[in-house]
Structure 1
């Protein structure tokens, strides 16, 4: 249950933020800290096993990673807590709400994975949005194909922001990550379970997300009777870095709902 962690100085209710696959708690803070600013919450950013500065201290399966996060929550925070995550972190957060609902007060799921197998995802087939010439020049050639599929807001400034996030924090354990992602345990065993979580949920997706799409996430809303779903144009899989102002607005609405207050 030993996970590398950063926490804000606030003493309010905890919000635990989980990272994208292969990324660190520093990258997660860059994604979510602006959206959570001035909320008075104790922001907690975790490195998953084999990610950032946390050693690979569990078997290379998503269930083992989820169990490790739950064990950390059991020992370090007073449940229930707010859970936020992006991509794989959101996939795990939704899994925690299914398996350990007593730990979770509300979910903020940004570009969440729904079905983990790549060939099972519903991906958009629209042509990519226009981009200025040379928008990928700063990125390593090995990432050009990935960014072309992943980014909806296609500018040199967004590329630089995402590159900084990818390079932030500890190096992680690449061998562990590869074994996790390629192994039969990458999918949670209850991935397709028809389980309802009745806390406040916000799901935010990118219209041009060629990595996990946006359609599966809408279909999954049947599991969230108190769920808000938003798909954002000119946004892809790195939505927090592509559209930070919209992420903040939607996060603030989610926080009002978790507190039982209304903006109307």
Structure 2
């Protein structure tokens, strides 16, 4: 898989969502950089960004196993943290089940919790602030993609979406995405494979997220003993773009908890 590597220190694997690529999450990098001593590894999932997907990539399980293989080759026995967004959040949960205590901490941004779309608890789609002048000025395809996701339409929000989300939307492998979509559910729910994850966790959701919702995400916290759960208002499925300052503050606090946990383990 294609990956982009920044910094040095404790590794953190950063996994984007469906039909986008690693650029969706690059806006988070200043938080990790300012915290210091973090090696950030951003991946492109198979069939997305610059990662090819052969016919063997035919399910969410196949994607999950590709990421597991990448993590084993990249980190070996070294402990690492994981951040996953949307579909990448489901894959991140799988990594916790697969690697156990080797995972230092887990951050989930608008994660897929219920894979079956029809079984999700979702709020109605709502746009809190419209900007018809902005939409009229965009290319029709860009306007359609942005309007589908934006909760608060504004030039500032559009610029973030344009730079983070659109590049991945334009390059994914449609055949691979169709294969994965047809087998989107993991064979086993990750949380059924462990009793309770003890590492520091963050579960962040958007109150206006009509794609994966926020109620299933808050219920997920029962499986993560040291979890902070936040539901951000004026935020949809791209909550980190809709509420970048709040997201950065919560990630900063999570990183501090992971670092303190590492310090306690070293003292023990």
Identify the TM-score tier after normalising by the shorter chain.
Answer: 0.7 to 0.9
Q: Does the CA-based 8 Å contact 1:114-1:191 persist in structure 2?
A: no
Which residues of structure 1 form unaligned runs of 5+?
none
1:85 is paired with a residue of what secondary structure? strand
List runs of 5+ in structure 2 lacking aligned partners.
262-268
- Separation in 1, partners of 2:136, 2:84: 29
Contact kept, 8 Å, 1:139 with 1:159, in 2: the verdict is no
| Superposition TM-score, scaled by structure 1 size | 0.88
Q: List per-residue Cα deviations over 1:149-182 (Å, max 9, x = no partner).
A: 533232232123212223336823221012211x
Using the alignment, how far apart are the partners of 2:12 and 2:4 within structure 1?
12
229-238 or 52-61, which deviates more:
52-61
What residue number does 2:265 align with? none
Structural mapping, 1:1-264, within 5 Å: 3-8=1-6, 10-30=7-27, 32-40=28-36, 41-57=38-54, 58-77=56-75, 78-125=77-124, 127-141=126-140, 147-148=146-147, 150-168=149-167, 171-181=171-181, 183=182, 185-191=183-189, 193-194=191-192, 195=194, 196-260=196-260
Call closer, same or farther: CA 1:132–1:171 in 2, change over 3 Å: closer
Q: How many residue pairs were aligned? A: 255
Match of 1:37, SS state, is helix
1:126/1:179 CA distance change after superposition, 3 Å: closer
Q: Please say if residues 35 and 247 of structure 1, whose CA atoms lie closer than 8 Å, have aligned partners that are also in contact.
A: no
Question: Is 1:20–1:88's contact at 8 Å kept on the other side of the alignment?
Answer: yes
- 8 A contact 1:49–1:65 mirrored in 2: yes
CA distance 1:54–1:123, shift in 2 (3 Å): same
Deviating more after overlay: 33-42 vs 13-22: 33-42
1:79–1:102 Cα contact (<8 Å) kept: no
What does the per-residue CA deviation read over 1:211-237, in whole Å, with 9 as the maximum and x for residues that have no partner?
A: 111010011111111110001111111
Residue 130 (structure 1) shift: 2.9
Distance 2:212 2:104 in 1: 25
Deviation, 1:102, is 3.7
1:77-135 residue CA offsets vs partner (Å, 9 max, x unmatched): 14321101111111110121123324411111000010111111111137431323334
User: Is the 2:23–2:165 Cα contact (8 Å) retained in structure 1?
Assistant: no
> Residues of 1 paired with 2:106 and 2:190: CA distance?
18
Task: Indicate the residue corresponding to 2:266 in structure 1.
Answer: none
CA contact (8 A) 2:97 2:190 kept: no
Cα 1:208–1:145 shift into 2, 3 Å: farther
SS across alignment from 1:199:
strand
